[in-house]
Amino acid sequence: MPVNGGIRIEQVREDAAGEWDAFVESTSAASLYHRYGWRHVIEQVFDRDTFYLAARQAGRICGVLPMVRLKSRLFGHFLVSMPYFNYGGVVGESPEIERELLTAGCALARDLGASHLELRHRAPSFDTLPVRTDKVTMLLDLPSSAEALWQAQGSKIRAQIKRPQKEGAVTVSGGPELLNEFYAVFAENMRDLGTPVYPRGFFGAILEAFPQAARIFVVRLAGRPVAAGFVIGHARVLEIPWASSLRRANAVGVNMLLYWSILEFACQQGYATFDFGRCTVDAGTYRFKKQWGAKPHQLYWHYWMRDGGEPPRLNHSNPKYEAAIAAWRRLPLAVANRLGPLLIRNLP
């Protein structure tokens, strides 16, 4: 691609993976999902085209932009950085480098015939692009010990954590050996929410790609899994992208025990921040995360629109999908688990 001001933009492949990750690890602006290993996960599980653009200056990588192409008759043709995850977008050592990456990404989207390019940023990077700001991420600064975090929660939260323990609930954590239990809880909860579920192989691929960073937590009641979470660590931040509990066990408060167990682990492992994930301000999930002491941080999803217009809303908060969500909730679980992975691969 063209060279401007000594900056060269190129599409990288496997031979540059180590150099790519070295840059990602060196900059705090990069997220977990900028790591090169996600390319393998997405290509393997979802069979999607990926385009990994790197900026080079004086021969070294100084900026990155990972993109995934989604194309279907039902939802259209577009690129996202990064779909399926909370974060992505352009990361560079300077605004000039980021502008060059953006220009190259938009040009590629145009050449491919995509309707738009979606960039999931944590900062208002590009004021010339349309932007959605309807989501925040909830972050909790962690103390140096789990005991300090326990005392900071207050008596009401502590009582809610103790209740499922009094009922006999226990938490276990580990890796692939807990995948079946995690997925059983996750799939049923997604069906109840009216949301297509990711394939089981998606989580297996993540555990394989990031064995040191990814971990599963399961809460069992009477020997059965009733709540589960999938966490990933990166740069002293532990994030929980996926968590679920079964509705029939929620009265016992198993979700509170799940989150406390994960927060306790985060403190013990020396993480500085816990990322509860994105949500809408004042929604139920927002209030749940806020009660732990988490603070909202604005997210900025920027868009290049080929034909102009408003940014799309391909998510369950769009009123046009209300009927489909209601119908999905009534599906038998086996049917939802079979159809869900076929649909979700097309949704960002």
Q: What would the pLDDT profile of 223-282 be if each residue is shown by its tens digit? A: 999 999 999 999 999 999 999 999 999 999 999 999 999 999 999 999 999 999 999 999
Beta bridge partner(s), residue 220: 170, 225
Residue 330 scores a pLDDT above 70:
yes
**Strand ranges in 235-338 using DSSP code E only, listed in sequence order:** 237-245, 273-279, 295-298, 300-305
Report the b/e string of 293-316 with b at 16+ CB within 10 A. bbebeebbbbbbbeeeeebbebee
According to DSSP, residue 29 is labeled T
pLDDT number for residue 141 = 98
pLDDT at 302: 97
Residue among 145, 275, 167 at smallest CA distance from 227: 167
φ, ψ of residue 247 to 5 degrees: the values are -60, -35
Residue 178 has a pLDDT of 98
Kindly report the backbone phi and psi dihedral angles of residue 282, in degrees, each rounded to the nearest multiple of 5, phi listed first.
Answer: 75, 0
What is the amino acid identity at position 25? E
CB count within 10 Å of CB 287 equals: 11
Q: Are 197 and 344 in contact (CB under 8 A)?
A: yes
Which of the two residues, 328 and 205, has the higher pLDDT score?
A: 205
Q: What is the pLDDT of residue 319?
A: 66
In sequence order, the 6+-apart residues with CB closer than 8 A to the CB of 110 are: 306
pLDDT at 320 exceeding the cut of 80: no
Integer CA distances (angstroms), 67 to 23, 34, 228, 262, in order: 17, 10, 29, 31
Q: Just give the CATH number of 137-298.
A: 3.40.630.30
Q: Does the pLDDT value for residue 184 go beyond 70?
A: yes
Give tens-digit pLDDT for 135-155.
999 999 999 999 999 999 989
pLDDT above 70 (res 76)? yes
Q: Where does 3-135+300-312 sit in CATH, by number?
A: 3.40.630.30
State the residue for tokens 């995360």: 289
Domains 3-135+300-312 and 137-298 fall in the same CATH topology: yes
287 Cβ neighbours under 8 A, 6+ residues apart: none
- As a whole number, the mean pLDDT across the chain is 94
Three-class SS state of 278? strand
Amino acid at 143: P
The mean-pLDDT minimum among 2-11, 68-77, 171-180, 292-301 falls in: 2-11
User: What is the dihedral angle through the alpha carbons of 199, 244, 175, 225, rounded to the nearest 10 degrees?
Assistant: -110
Report domain extents, the chain: 3-135+300-312, 137-298
pLDDT of residue 161: 97
CA dist 310 and 130 (Å) reads 8
Tokens of 7: 């900056």
At 79-124, the pLDDT tens digits run 999 999 999 999 999 999 999 999 999 999 999 999 999 999 999 9
**CA 262 – CA 238 distance, rounded (Å):** 9
Q: Among 85-89, 285-289, 320-324, 339-343, which is the least confidently predicted range?
A: 320-324
pLDDT value of position 318: 61
Share of the chain above pLDDT 70, in %: 96
* Residue 2 scores a pLDDT above 60: no
* pLDDT on residue 3: 61
